[in-house]
Amino acid sequence: MRIPFVLLLVAACSSDPKSNPVEVCATGQPLVAYRTGSTGWKTLQPNAKGRYVVPVTGDYELVRVGLLADGLTLTSYFASTAAETKPIDTCPEMRDTPVHVTGHLVGSGEVWMDGYGVSSMSGAFDLQVNPGTHDLLATSGYPTPITSPRVLIQRGRMISGPADLGKIDLSTGTALTNVPVTITNATGSLFTNVFLSTTVNDLATVSTSSDATASVVPDSLLQAGDKQWVDVGENNRFAGVLYTGAGTKTSFTLPPALTGVTFSAGNTTASWASLPEPYSIAELQLFSSSSLELVAATKGWLDKHGATSLAFPTDVPGFQASWMVTSPEDATSRSGSTTGTTSPTTRSSGLRILRARGRRPHSACARCNMRCGRRRNGRIHSPVSTMKRPVRG
C-alpha cells in the first residue's frame, strides 16, 4: 500500500507581492494544517485540483498526516520562510491505484518499475505499479555488491492492468561501468550507491558497493532526460553528485560528524547548542513499527526563532496523539543512500542536517513505504548531509 501524498512544498507564482503561496500536492489526508508568524494553527481543505494552498507572507509551519489502509501512519512537520521555499513550476499528478506486475528474474538481483524495487534470488517477482508508461530496470549490482554487475533496461512498457512480464534474464544485460571514487577524509568503512531516474520519472537503485567504486549505467543505455546519481559515505556522513559522464568529479569531502546533539528521554526531541555550518535544513526523523515521523526546519526559520531543538508540535487542532511516534526505534529499510550501509540496512531514528537543498531519486520522491523491498523515501535530501543517532540502552 502506498502513502497517498507528496512530501514536497512548491512555491506558486502570485500577483500579490505581499503573498508567496505555498502549494502542497496531496490527496486523501486526514489533516493538513499551517500557521504563519505568530498566528494560530489553521486547517486546510483541498482545492478542485486536490492541492492545499498555504498563503505564506513570511515564516510558516506546516503539518501533514497520511494514513494507510493497513494502519501505517506518516506525519510530517516542516517550518520555513517564504524566501527559502524553492519555486517549482508544476505539481506532479498523484495516483493510488497500483496493479500487480509479475515476472521471473533469471539471475540474482533486483527488479525496478515505477520507483519500486523487489529483490529476487533468481525467481518470481511481484511489483505494485501505477498504470501508465514505465521503464523497467533489472540489475545484478543490487542489493548485494558483486564484482561485475549487469543491468537490463526495458523502455516504454505500457501497464494498463495486471501484467506478467515473463522472463527477465540478467545475463542478457549490459555490464555496468566501474568508476573510481575518492573520499578525501574517510576514516571508516565506505559505501557507494548509484541511482537512476529515467525519462518517464521511474526511479531505481542501480548498484551498491563497499569500496571506492561506483558501478554506473553506461552512456550507451542512457537517453536524453535520464539522470544518474552517485552517493558515497561512511557511518553517518554522506555526499553525492549528479553523474553526467566521464568528466564528472567523483572526489568527495564528507561533512564533519554531527556532535553536541542530545535527545530527550523518549528520543522524541533533539536539542543542540549549535549546528555546523553551512547547512540548509535540520531534520529529526523518527521511526516505529507502524509510523514514520519527520520534523524539519530550514536554517532561516531556526535562526529567526532562535530555535535549538526539534520536536513535533502537540497543539495542532484535530491532531490525534495516536499519530505520533512515542517510542522511536530503528526501522528496516533497504535504501543505502539514506543509511550509509549496503542493503538490507537499518534506517535509524535521529537528527540529520542537510547542507544544500535538492531533489533527486530516493530523496524527495513522491511516496514513502517503510516495508523492506518496496520503497520510496519521502524526505528532502541534499548531496551533503550528516546524522546523529541517539544512544540506545
Q: Would you state the pLDDT for residue 390?
A: 57
The Cα–Cα gap between 56 and 63 comes to 14
- 271-288, pLDDT tens digit by residue? 999 888 888 889 888 888
Q: Is the pLDDT of residue 344 over 70?
A: no
Q: Would you state the pLDDT for residue 365?
A: 31
Asked whether 78 and 301 are in contact (CB, 8 A), the reply is no
Q: Would you state the pLDDT for residue 368?
A: 31
Mean pLDDT of the chain: 75
Residue 300 φ/ψ, nearest 5 degrees: -60, -40
By CB neighbour count within 10 A (0-12 exposed, 13-18 middle, 19+ buried), where does 38 fall? exposed
Helix (H, G, I), strand (E, B) or coil at 209: strand
Q: Is the pLDDT of residue 110 over 90?
A: yes
Asked whether 150 and 168 are in contact (CB, 8 A), the reply is no
Q: Estimate to the nearest angstrom the gap between the alpha carbon of 237 and the chain centroid.
A: 16
pTM of the predicted protein model: 0.72
Please measure the distance between the N-terminal and C-terminal CA atoms of the chain and give it in whole angstroms: 33
Q: Is the pLDDT of residue 381 over 80?
A: no
pLDDT higher for 350 or 181? 181
Long-range CB contacts for residues 278-282, cutoff 8 Å, separation at least 24: 278/355, 278/356, 279/353, 279/354, 279/355, 280/84, 280/354, 280/355, 280/356, 280/357, 280/382, 281/353, 281/354, 281/357, 281/380, 281/382, 282/310, 282/351, 282/352, 282/353, 282/354
The owner of cell 564484482 is 147
Closest C-alpha among 109, 287, 292 to residue 205 = 109
pLDDT higher for 9 or 85? 85
Query: Please, what is the Cα angle at 173 between 168 and 178, to 5 degrees?
Result: 135
Q: Would you state the pLDDT for residue 371?
A: 27
Residue 303 φ/ψ, nearest 5 degrees: -65, -45
- 183-230, pLDDT tens digit by residue? 888 887 888 999 999 988 788 999 999 888 999 999 999 999 999 999
pLDDT higher for 336 or 49? 49
The Cα–Cα gap between 98 and 92 comes to 17
The Cα–Cα gap between 65 and 84 comes to 23
* Domain boundaries defined on the chain: 5-93+256-326, 99-252
pLDDT higher for 175 or 377? 175
- 125-169, pLDDT tens digit by residue? 999 888 999 999 999 999 888 989 999 999 999 999 999 999 999
Q: Is the pLDDT of residue 249 over 60?
A: yes
The Cα–Cα gap between 109 and 116 comes to 14
Q: Would you state the pLDDT for residue 17?
A: 40
3-state SS of 5-62? Answer: EEEEEEECCCCCCCCCCEEEEECCCCEEEEEECCCCCEECCCCCCCEEEECCCCEEEE
Q: Would you state the pLDDT for residue 133?
A: 93
Kindly tell me the sign of the dihedral angle through the C-alpha atoms of 175, 177, 180, 181.
negative
To the nearest whole percent, how much of the chain has pLDDT over 70?
73
3-state SS of 339-370? Answer: HCCCCCEEECCEEEEECCCECCCCCECCCCCC
Cis omega (within 30 of 0) for bond into 344: yes
Q: Is the pLDDT of residue 243 over 60?
A: yes
Across 68-96, average pLDDT: 65
Across 97-114, average pLDDT: 91
Kindly tell me the sign of the dihedral angle through the C-alpha atoms of 105, 109, 115, 116.
positive
Q: Estimate to the nearest angstrom the gap between the alpha carbon of 151 and the chain centroid.
A: 23
